[in-house]
Structure 1
């Protein structure tokens, strides 16, 4: 009886090991030169902080940390390089705002509440 339990435990351990090992490996973060033309992470690199660069669609952005970013909407570079918005804030027009209570950006960027209404929990005139 004891021998059967040991064999069963070994069989279960083997089955779990095979199931875990069968998962496909994570993709490499390094892309070959052949694939860089189709890799969205490969595009948008720049060399000098503060220089202007163009991202697809013709939108103008700036170089921050060797990446082209839009300072008007980037949560980690809001209005300036390395100016990170708090967890409860969003980057609207280069300014960190709390979209749950800001009547100029209520619930989302550029959604202005009507005059006399307040923004509460991301909705104009809640309650």
Structure 2
């Protein structure tokens, strides 16, 4: 009798796990997408609306708009600078190292 209960419980658990995997996986639409002709850019084909599924374990948060921007554009070269190694922007914008100094990990080092 106990053996029959164990087999029944294992069967119920296995079926529950299989249903969970089937219902949570996203079906691929590669066949449907390849058959349709391209009418424009891919971002125009996306449908807006619908709730975005978020995992509890890897919950996504919106970025803070007031967060520090560590990639400042340099007016001379028009590219982002590395605040850890750039001699003219060592650790902060427009913080220059003294002559003979090197910027290492955002701190001026003098040899």
Q: Same fold (TM over 0.5)?
A: no
Q: Which has the larger Rg?
A: 2
**TM range, smaller chain:** 0.3 to 0.5
More helix by share: 2
TM-score, length of structure 1 as denominator length: 0.35
TM-score normalised by length of structure 2: 0.39
More strand by share: 1
